[in-house]
Chains A and B, each alone.
Chain A
Amino acid sequence: MGAEPKVTLDLARGLGLTADEYDRIIHRLGREPSYTELGLFSALWSEHCAYKHSKVFLARLPQRGPHVLQGPGENAGALDIGDGWAVVFKIESHNHPSFIEPFQGAATGVGGILRDIFTMGARPIAILDSLRFGDPADAKTRRLIQGVVSGISWYGNCFGCPTVGGEIAFAPEYAGNPLVNVMCVGLVRADRIFRARAEGVGNPVFYVGNKTGRDGIHGATMASATFDEHAEERRPTVQVGDPFTEKLLLEACLEAMATGAVVGIQDMGAAGLACCTSEMPGRSGTGMAVELSAVPQREEGMTPYELLLSESQERMLLVGARGREEELRRVFAKWELDAVRIGEVTAGPDLVVRHRGEEVARVPVEALAEAPRYEKPYAPPAGLAALQAFDPMTLPEPPDCAEALVALLGSPAIASKEWAYRQYDQQVGINTLVLPGSDASVLRVKGTRRAIAVAVDGNGRHVFLDPRRGAAMAVCEAARNVSCAGGRPLGVTDCLNFGSPERPEILWQLAEAVEGIAEACRALEVPVVGGNVSLYNETVPAVGATPQAILPTPIVGVVGLLEDAGLLATQWFKAAGERIALLGPEAVSLGGSEYLWARHGRVAGRLAPLDLEIERRVQGAVRAAIDAGLATAAHDCAEGGVAVTLAEACVTGRTPIGCEATLSAGGRRDQTLFGEGPSRVVVSVGSARQREFEALMAESAIPWRWIGTTGGDRLRLRMGTETVVDVGLDRLEHAWRNGFERHMA
C-alpha cells in the first residue's frame, strides 16, 4: 500500500468538505480523522448522500397514506395495491455522469434504480425515463441524446426490464447539464418486502455481486459539485455497467430472499461500501465490523480508501441469518456470483473497518449520518418579476394558425419520441397493456384483475416562472396522465433537479417547488414515498464566467391503480362519429408555454391559475367515465394547448381519425388554441352513450362542455363561427412523426 496523504484542511476541501464541516468531524471524533475516515465523511456528508441543503424542505412533503407500506428512507417506497401485492418504485437521477460519459452514465443510472427496486424483494416490471437536453439541432447535443438513449436501451434490454414510458424535453439551459432521471417500478408480495437493515448482533455480512474496481470513486462527491472546464477530466469517476451481471444478481437475490436466510440487504450505489456499512447499522441501531481484504477485487493494490468509496456497479451488501451462510453461498454460486463474508453486525456504536487485520477506520455509525443540515437564506431571482409581467399579447398573432399548429406538432418537444422508445424493449414480462405513446403506460398484475398505470412529468419552464405553481402543476399533470389511463393515483416519487443551493435564488426555487409539490400531493391525496435530489446542475461555461444553472426541474412520477385492467383508456380517437368533450376550466395562458418558446423563443409571462379542488374533481370525473366504459379516449391537455391535444388524439393511434371542434370565442386565436392550463382533459364518447356521460359529468360538478365530433381526415377547429384551423391529418401526422426524428436520423 502506498503512503496515504496527510490529512489537512486543504485535503478535506479537495474532497468537497467545508472548513466548518471539517471542524465538526474533528469535534465529533475528538481527534483528527485518518485518511480513510476522512473519505467516509466526505462521501456520506456529500449533498448527494446527505441532502444537506434539501432535507429541511423535504420534511414538508406528505409521506403517509392508507396505501403506504414503505415511505422515504429505504431503497425505495412501497404501496399496497390489493390482492396481496405491493408496488415498489422510485425515481433517481444520473445527470452528472451522463454529461461526462452519456452511454455509461445513463446505463448505470438504469442499473442503480433497478437495484433499488430488487433489493426490496420486488421484481422490476417497468422503467420510465425523463430526459432533458439542449437543442437537438446542435451536434454535441445529438451525441449526448444518442449516447443516453443507447445507454438506457443497452442496460434495460439486456437486463430484461421493459422501458414503458417517459418524456424528453429540450431547452438551452440543459445543453451543459442534461438530465437523466430514471424511474423503476417493481412488484412484490406485500408481506415479503425486504429492507436495508443490519439487525441481529453476530449476523454475517456478505458482499455479493461484481468485483470491486477503481471506477466511480467519489462519484457522490462529483454529483455534488458544479461542472467547470475540468468536467471532461472526471470521466474516470463514471462507473461502467454490466447488465448481464445485474440480471444474475436479480435472480440470485430474489432466490436468496425466498430461502428466508436474508435479514437485510442494500444496494451499493453512491458511495458504495461506505454508504452500506454505515447506513444499514444506522437504521437498526447496531454497528458493523468489516475486513476489506476479503472484498472481491478486480484490480491490484486497492487501498482501504478506494475499496470503501468505489462505485463499481452490480454489488449488494447483504446481512444473512447466522448459521445459514451455506444456503446463501449456494444460491449465489448457482448464479456464478461472488458471495463473500466480509464482516458481521456488532452491538455498535462504531463502524470498524480493518484491512489485513489492521484497523483503518473506527467511526460512530451515527456520526456519519449526522451531516450538517443547512438552512441558508433564499430569495427570488432579481429579474423574475419582470419576466412574469411580460404580456404575450404584445407579440404578433400568427398569420395562419394551421401552419402554427403544424410547426408546433413538429417541435422536438411535442413530436413523437418513437426514435427513442423503439430502441427500448417495451414488453418483456408480457405485462404492458398500454405501450409508450399514450398519456400513461398500463401494466397488468398477472393472477389478478388489476393493473397499474404509471407516468412521469415535469416542465422546467413552468417551474422557472413560478416554482410553487409550476411544481404543483407537475404533480397534477403526472396524476392526470394516470387518471386519463383509468388509474387512481396512489403515490408519488419525485426527482428534484436544481442548480447550486448555495445561491439564494436557486434555493428559493427549491423551497417553493417542494412547497408546490406538497400542496398538490395533499390535495390529490397522493403521498411521496421516495425520490431523489440532484443539485449543482450547473456549468461554468468559461473560466471566471457566471455558472449557468438548469431550469429548475422537479420530475414527478405517479403510480396509479386500475381495479379492472379491462377498463383502461388511451389517448387516441377510436372511431368516427363520436362526441368530443372538453373537461376542466377554460382558463389558459401563453405564459411559459411551448408555443411561446417554439415560435417566439421566449420564456416569460404568468402561468394559468391552478385550482387543486377542480383538478381533483376533473381527474375523478375522467376516471368515472372510463370506469363506466363511457370514455373511448382520454387525453390530457398539456404542452401546445387544446389544439395540440386534439391533433394528437387524431394522429397518434394506429388509424388516424379526424375531428371538428368549436372552441370558445372571444380570446386571441393563438391563446385559445395553444395556451396551456391545468385540469383540462379531452374525452371522446360514443354517441349512443352521450346522455349517460352528461349525467355523470353533472354528478362530478366540474366545468365541461361538448366541443365537437370525430371523423373525416382533417382537423377543423372553429372559434365561434370562424374557422381558425383546417388542415389534413397527413400533414399533422408527418410533422408529428418527423419533428424529433429528423434531427436524429
Chain B
Amino acid sequence: MRFGVVVFPGTWSDCDFHYVISEVIRQPVKYVWHRERNLADLDCVVLPGGFSYGDYLRAGAVAGRSPVVEALPEFVAGGGVVLGSCNGFQILCEAGLLPGALMRNECLQYRCQSTHLLVENAETPFTRALRPGQVLTMPISHGEGKYHADPETLRTLRAHKQVVFRYATAAGEVTRAANPNGSVENIAGIVNEDGTVLGLMPHPERAAESAMGGTDGLQIFHSLLGSLVEDGAFLKR
C-alpha cells in the first residue's frame, strides 16, 4: 500500500507517520509537499499533526485551502483514502471534507495526555481490524480539539454511523470526566459518509510501538492494510 505523508509549513508529525509506516508496518511511503496536486500514485494520504502556518488564523484554515487539499476530493473519488490526525483533522474540517469544526479546548489550555477511545464504527477501512465497543488507548496533544457540530449535523453523523471514536473511560463509559477537551458527545474521530476520510484528534502514530507505551494506534494501520488485502475496496487501480 502506497502512503503519502503531506508536509505543510509547520507540520510536525510528518516524520513520525513516515517512521511508523516505513519502519513499523513496512509499507512504501513518501513525503508530499503542500503544493503538490498530483496524488495519482498513492493509495492513502496522511494529513499529520502540527501547526500548519502556525495556526495563527484558525487551526487548519490556511492549509485547508492549499493545492494538495484541493486535490483530495478527486483523490477520494478515485478510490483513495485520507487519514487526518490532530492538525490533519482540523484541516479536513476547514476544507469541508468532514463536517463540523474544532474549537479551543474547553479548559482553555493545551492538553497532552493519554486518552481512551471507544470504537463505535468498525466498518470503515480504518477500523476493520477492530470491533465495536473495543477501547483503545492513544495520546492527544492539542489546544484546539473540541469538536463542535450543530444538532442537524450530529443527527446526520449518527444516522450514517460516521462517529468512529468517542473519548471514554478505560472501561468504555462515555463520561464527561473522560472528555479531555469538551468535544460535543465526546466525539474524538469521525469519517465522511463513504467512510473513506477519517479525521481524529488523537495520535495513532504515537501508539504504534510497545516502547512508546502501547500499540493500539497500529490497529488503524492494520485495518487499512487488511482492507486492502481482503477486498481491495479502495485500491485505486
Contacts and interface: CB of A to CB of B under 8 A. Distances in A.
A430 interface: yes
Contact of A248 (B10, B15, B143, B212): B10
A244 B10 contact: yes
Most buried by A among B20, B110, B139: B110
Contact of A247 (B12, B110, B111, B211): B12
Interface string B18-58: 01100000000000000000000000000001110111100
A224 to B, nearest CB: 32
Contacts of A243: 51, 54
Contacts of B203: 427
A446 B209 CA distance: 12
A627 to B, nearest CB: 18
Interface stretch (A182-190, A418-426, A576-584): A418-426
A422 B180 CA distance: 11
The prevalent SS among residues of B at the interface is mixed
B185 interface: no
Contact of A426 (B9, B49, B56, B112): B112
Given A157-B51, A160-B50, A244-B53, A429 B111 contact: no
Contacts of A244: 9-10, 51, 53-56
Nearest to B56: A244
Given A422-B111, A425-B112, A428-B16, A336 B9 contact: yes
B16 A247 contact: no
Interface in A408-439: 421-430, 432-433
Contacts of A565: 211
B50 A248 contact: no
A157 B141 contact: yes
Contact of A430 (B10, B50, B212): B212
B54 A427 contact: no
B54 A430 contact: no
Contacts of B16: 428-430
A159 B51 CA distance: 8
A248 B109 CA distance: 25
A427 B206 contact: yes
Interface string A310-349: 0000000000000000000000000110000000000000
A587 interface: no
A161 to B, nearest CB: 9
A98 B152 CA distance: 47
B113 interface: yes
Interface residues of A, number: 31
Interface in A149-178: 150, 153-154, 157-160
A242 interface: yes
Interface in B165-215: 203, 205-206, 208-209, 211-212
A427 B211 CA distance: 12
A336 B206 CA distance: 29
B46 to A, nearest CB: 14
Interface string A226-254: 00000000000000001111011000000
Nearest to B208: A430
B13 interface: yes
A423 B181 CA distance: 12
A737 to B, nearest CB: 14
Interface in A263-289: none
Interface in B88-144: 109-113, 139, 141, 143
A132 interface: no
A424 B15 CA distance: 19
Interface residues of B, number: 30
A429 B208 CA distance: 13
A444 interface: yes
A430 B206 contact: yes
B13 A428 contact: yes
A247 B141 contact: no
A247 B203 CA distance: 20
B112 A422 contact: yes
Contact of B211 (A153, A245, A335, A444): A444
B141 A428 contact: yes
Interface in A116-167: 150, 153-154, 157-160
A33 to B, nearest CB: 40
A566 B205 CA distance: 20
Nearest to A248: B9
B56 A427 contact: no
Nearest to B12: A160
A245 B19 CA distance: 25
Contacts of A158: 10, 51, 54-55
B110 A157 contact: yes
Contacts of A160: 12, 50-51
A433 B211 contact: yes
Nearest to A247: B10
Contacts of B20: 430
Contacts of B53: 244
Interface in A538-591: 565-566
Most buried by B among A160, A247, A444: A160
Nearest to A566: B211
Contacts of A242: 54
Contacts of B112: 157, 421-427
B15 A429 contact: yes
B141 A425 contact: yes
B205 A423 contact: no
A422 B141 CA distance: 9
Contacts of A336: 9
Contacts of B110: 150, 153-154, 157, 423-425
Interface of A: 150, 153-154, 157-160, 242-245, 247-248, 335-336, 421-430, 432-433, 444, 446, 565-566
Given A244-B9, A247-B9, A432-B212, 12 more contacts: A160-B50, A244-B51, A244-B54, A244-B55, A421-B112, A423-B111, A423-B112, A426-B112, A427-B112, A427-B206, A430-B20, A430-B205
Interface of B: 9-10, 12-13, 15-16, 19-20, 49-51, 53-56, 109-113, 139, 141, 143, 203, 205-206, 208-209, 211-212
21 contacts: A150-B109, A153-B110, A157-B112, A157-B141, A157-B143, A158-B10, A158-B51, A160-B51, A244-B53, A247-B51, A248-B9, A248-B10, A336-B9, A421-B112, A422-B113, A423-B109, A423-B112, A425-B112, A427-B112, A430-B20, A432-B212
